[in-house]
């Protein structure tokens, strides 16, 4: 549920200029998520969302480290096109990709700046992601699967 909500939040802030927690809460409720302001506040912190000023001068929530408005779509495309399988064991997530594209997929994962990721290591067709805990590994695995 949390992974789906996080995916929805990223989709919402990519499509709409949301500048308040109330605005984000309202958009999530329109999509069928029963959330409180406290939950949305926690989600914003966990996703590392930041407020940036757009070309129109108005502030809005954006994912950390994003340069473009289609960040979530590009991330999803990179992962969708390159990832074959995702698994987790203890605090490690293993992502199997097409041959030769693990580095690109790992860069996409790194750009998420996910607070629970300690680090990533990419080979030719495998990414090793070290997470802070067993629970965060399982949650992250599910989040990646929802992006696929």
Question: Would you tell me how many other CB atoms lie within 10 Å of the CB of residue 115?
Answer: 12
Does residue 55 sit in the same domain as residue 87?
A: no
Last residue of a domain, one of 41, 62, 83: 62
HEC sequence for 26-63? HHHHHCCCCCCHHHHHHHHHHHCCEEEECCCCCEEEEC
Q: What is the pLDDT along the chain (148 residues), one digit of tens a residue?
A: 677 888 889 889 888 889 999 999 999 999 999 999 999 999 888 887 888 776 677 888 887 655 444 455 666 777 788 899 999 999 999 999 998 888 878 877 887 778 889 999 999 899 999 999 999 999 999 888 887 7
Does residue 30 sit in the same domain as residue 58?
A: yes
Instruction: Tell me which residue range forms the domain holding 45.
Output: 2-62
Whole-number Cα distances in Å, 37 to 25, 54, 133: 6, 24, 26
Dihedral angle at the C-alpha atoms of 127, 12, 60, 39, nearest 10 degrees?
A: -80
CA 11 to chain centre: 10
Q: What is the pTM of this model?
A: 0.53
Q: CATH number, domain at 51?
A: 1.10.10.10
Domain count across the chain: 2
């Amino acid at each position: 549920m949390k992974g789906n909500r996080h995916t929805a939040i990223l989709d919402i802030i990519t499509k709409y200029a949301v500048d308040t927690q109330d605005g984000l809460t309202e958009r999530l409720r329109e999509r069928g998520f029963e959330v409180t302001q406290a939950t949305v506040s926690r989600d914003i912190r966990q996703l590392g969302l930041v407020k940036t000023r757009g070309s129109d001068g108005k502030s809005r929530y954006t994912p950390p480290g994003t340069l473009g408005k289609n960040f979530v779509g590009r991330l999803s495309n990179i992962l969708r096109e390159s990832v074959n399988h995702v698994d987790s064991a203890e605090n490690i997530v293993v992502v199997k990709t097409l041959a030769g594209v693990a580095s690109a997929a790992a860069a996409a994962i790194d750009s998420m700046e996910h607070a629970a990721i300690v680090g990533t290591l990419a080979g030719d067709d495998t990414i090793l992601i070290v997470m802070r805990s067993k629970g965060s590994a399982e949650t992250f695995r599910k989040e990646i699967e929802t992006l696929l």
